[in-house]
Amino acid sequence: MTMSGVLRPGHCQLRVLDLEESVNFYTNVFGLVETGRDDTGRVYFKCHDERDHNSFIIRESDRAGMDFYGFKVRDKATLDRLESDLRAYGVSTERIPAGEMLETGERVRFEIPTGHIMELYAEKTAIGDGLGYVNPDVFIENRKGISPIRLDHWQIHGADLDGSRDLFINVLGFSLVEKILGEDGKTDMAVWLTCSTKAHDIAFVRDQRNNTVHHASFLLETWEKVLHAADIMGKYRVSIDNGPLRHGITRGTTIYSFDPSGNRLETFCGGYDFYPDMQPYTWTWDELGSAIFYHTRALNERFLTVVT
């Protein structure tokens, strides 16, 4: 696949209830790398294998949840083209100036039909992964906690799934990878979309609660790392929602847990490669349990209802 448009999930900004408690959690338990703080009180992090300055930003608030989601695009020309395409599609856009976020260039911000705020950007300062660019080592020393290698994807909820799905496919160039049909056998209740060869870069679930997030997902290298993450969660008394388990959808292995503010996080590994010539998989409503948790075929009430 020629990577010429949207490249990948690049950053998101999360609301937390206690900033310093959250900094301790994301640094020492979750194992992200703090890369800076700004005058507004935001704290910036990256994962170990990520080379850009930041991918995960937190700010203190009186309620948990996500402020916005950002995708990195190939270059400035791509950013301009996609903004023009969005406007032609009937979507209003706003330019956020370079520097409003640390080490991040100009961003194009817009709202999608499910009420979520999305951003596109082309430039972010590269600070590397600590291995160097000449004769690099193959592992990073002194990693803390769970230590994911990258921000992988999000699952977000809202009423107009069809509108957001179509915008991502028809304007931003995403491909439909998998979907779950509703009880009527026709309506898309959830869809998994990719802008790369990954099994998904974002998922939408039909839900009357607009502009809500089910989870932010972080990639681990192996199933053994997922099991090690479970050990760390046990040691530090992290609230686990589900797992370790395997998904039917994407075939990935997973643990869902909560940060101290009640934001759900996924530590994820695996998933098959997808290319645009492939036919999407479809799951029927009667196999919903197997689609989400292939081993147990059961969903707890919290997993189905809790969003922020």
Please give the DSSP secondary-structure letter assigned to residue 286. Answer: G
| Residue 2 buriedness (CB in 10 A; 0-12 / 13-18 / 19+) | exposed
| Residue 231, C-beta contacts closer than 8 angstroms, at least 6 positions apart | none
HSE of 215, CA atoms in CB hemisphere, 13 A? 24
Active site (annotated) includes residue 215: yes
Residue 258 near residue 264 (C-beta atoms within 8 A)? yes
* Set 69, 178, 215, 281: catalytic member: 215
The CA distances from residue 238 to 105, 210, 303, in Å, are: 35, 28, 16
Active site (annotated) includes residue 153: yes
Instruction: Tell me the C-alpha distance between 157 and 199, whole Å.
Output: 19
* Set 11, 48, 116, 153: catalytic member: 153
CA dihedral 59, 61, 65, 70 (to 10 degrees): -30
* Set 50, 200, 214, 281: catalytic member: 200
Kindly write down the DSSP assignment for every residue of 77-136, as one continuous string. Answer: HHHHHHHHHHHHTT--EEEEPTTSSTTB--EEEEE-TTS-EEEEES-B-B---SS-SSS-
| Residue 276 buriedness (CB in 10 A; 0-12 / 13-18 / 19+) | exposed
* Set 247, 281, 287, 294: catalytic member: 247
Instruction: Tell me the C-alpha distance between 55 and 94, whole Å.
Output: 21
Instruction: Tell me the C-alpha distance between 21 and 267, whole Å.
Output: 20
Side chain identity, residue 47 = C
* Set 256, 275, 281, 301: catalytic member: 256
Active site (annotated) includes residue 256: yes
Question: Which residue bears the tokens 């160097």?
Answer: 132
Which residues are designated catalytic? 153, 200, 215, 247, 256, 266
